[in-house]
């Protein structure tokens, strides 16, 4: 077989030009940022004041959409509004919005209808409501985006993987722009019972990443979306460049369905691969937005990986899950938005709930008590999910 001689292509640079977020500590990027600088709320981490009517024109469409889709649609609307006109052909604009669980509430609700009232009373809309690609499809349809429209589900790494993969669409010339992120609304009776019975949830209801007394994660819900564009096209149309996607990585532990690889091996390999993708050395990283779930094994493995890669004290570390809780498939996207806001403000939010750093962990430089000023530079956002799905983004100022 004759080998085809193809000219080498240089990768295109990827800018972030829009942010949208729906979270338990603030809806919209400004409210969200203030929430990150405030103490964690009491009680369940639901988005109590979420109103989907602000981003849907048709009330029927709201009734036919699961809550995770509604949140994603609202986050996308905010991100696209900030980005402004994308100046690209619709079939060159992609959508990649994932979810860890999908329409869990719709599925549980209609299961009850089926059991109590019979199959003929089950809603004909339950399938599109519970399917994992519903959010991506709704965003594509609502904004006329005709490029690749996909969804993925990699547990708690979903949002990070979605942004990293969508950035590659642009790097490789498949798209000129993309809408990417994650959404989750899985605080359902069955899901809550399952997480509680596997002893993953905090019985105290307090999220305490890296703390000596951490006792599990606090489940939450939400969505976050970013608008990605080829950097030079964004500059040419006069867009405001919020940050740049410098690199990313997606690797598997191949170890256990829930527990991370021992010794931080999976976290270490993923962060190292992301740095290689970005063409950076560990010493150039100034900040790590940690996965930091507040569970015993996750925080240990991540701290070990950070310590092994960067040494001591290494870059400044924070976990916003102290405030936001853990929104599963949306978490990585929410944390990517938080990282971009940190780069813009030159400020790293504290790890709320961290009172006494666990002496059994390697000595990493975790922000406690009060936000810390820093000089923005290349930074990581980590996500490590059930099943051994690991993801890291490298973001930086332009």
* Residues with active-site annotation: 156, 291, 326
Query: Alpha-carbon distance 211 to 352, whole Å?
Result: 10
Query: Alpha-carbon distance 83 to 79, whole Å?
Result: 6
Which one-letter DSSP state was computed for residue 392? E
381, 219, 148: which is closest to 286 by C-alpha? Answer: 381
Beta bridge partners of residue 318, listed in sequence order: 289
Q: For residue 23, what is the enclosing H or E element?
A: strand 14-23
Give how far the C-alpha of residue 256 lies from the chain's centroid of Cα atoms, to the nearest Å: 22
Query: In the structure encoding, which two tokens stand for residue 206, read together?
Result: 């307090």
Determine how β-strand 365-366 pairs with β-strand 316-318.
parallel
Q: Residue holding tokens 């532990």?
A: 253
- Compute and round to an integer the Cα radius of gyration of the chain: 20
C-alpha dihedral over 113, 118, 124, 128, to 10 degrees? 50
Three-state secondary structure call for residue 26: strand
Query: Alpha-carbon distance 64 to 52, whole Å?
Result: 12
Does residue 313 have a cis bond before it (omega within 30 degrees)? yes
User: b/e for 356-365, b at 16 or more Cβ within 10 A?
Assistant: ebbeebbebb
E-assigned strand segments in the chain: 14-23, 26-27, 93-98, 149-150, 177-184, 222-230, 243-252, 287-289, 316-318, 347-348, 365-366, 372-373, 379-385, 389-396
Query: Alpha-carbon distance 212 to 14, whole Å?
Result: 39
């Amino acid at each position: 077989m004759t080998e085809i001689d193809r000219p080498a292509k240089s990768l295109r640079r990827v800018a972030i030009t829009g942010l949208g977020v729906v979270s338990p500590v603030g809806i919209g990027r400004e409210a969200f940022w203030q929430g990150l600088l405030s103490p964690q709320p009491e009680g369940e981490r639901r988005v109590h004041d979420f109103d989907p009517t602000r981003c849907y024109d048709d009330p029927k469409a709201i009734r036919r959409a699961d809550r995770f889709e509604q949140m994603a649609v609202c986050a996308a609307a905010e991100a696209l509004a900030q980005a402004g006109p994308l100046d690209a052909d619709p079939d060159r604009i992609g959508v990649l919005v994932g979810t860890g669980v999908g329409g869990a509430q719709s599925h549980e609700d209609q299961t009850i209808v089926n059991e109590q009232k019979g199959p003929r009373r089950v809603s004909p809309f339950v399938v599109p409501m519970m399917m994992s690609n519903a959010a991506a499809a709704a965003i594509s349809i609502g904004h006329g985006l005709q490029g690749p429209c996909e969804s993925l589900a990699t547990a708690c790494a979903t949002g990070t993987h979605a942004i990293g993969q969508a950035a590659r669409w642009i790097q490789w010339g498949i798209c000129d722009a993309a809408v990417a992120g994650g959404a989750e609304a899985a605080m359902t009776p069955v899901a809550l019972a399952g997480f509680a019975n596997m002893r993953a949830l905090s019985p105290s209801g307090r999220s305490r990443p890296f703390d000596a007394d951490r006792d599990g994660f606090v489940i939450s819900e939400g969505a976050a979306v970013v608008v990605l564009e080829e950097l030079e096209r964004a500059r040419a149309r006069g867009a405001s460049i919020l940050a740049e996607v410098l690199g990313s990585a997606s690797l598997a532990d191949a170890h256990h369905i829930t527990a991370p690889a021992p010794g931080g091996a999976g976290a270490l390999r993923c962060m190292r691969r992301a740095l290689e993708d970005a063409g950076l050395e560990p010493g150039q990283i100034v900040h790590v937005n940690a996965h930091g779930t507040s569970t015993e094994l996750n925080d240990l493995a991540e701290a070990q990986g950070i310590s092994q890669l960067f040494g001591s004290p290494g870059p400044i570390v924070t976990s916003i899950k102290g405030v936001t809780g853990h929104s599963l498939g949306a978490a990585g996207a929410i944390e990517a938005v938080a990282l971009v806001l940190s780069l813009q403000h030159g400020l790293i939010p504290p790890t709320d709930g961290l009172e006494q750093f666990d002496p059994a962990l390697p000595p990493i430089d975790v922000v406690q008590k009060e936000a810390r000023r820093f000089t923005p530079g290349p930074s990581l956002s980590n996500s490590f999910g059930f099943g051994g799905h690991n993801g890291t983004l490298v973001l930086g100022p332009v």
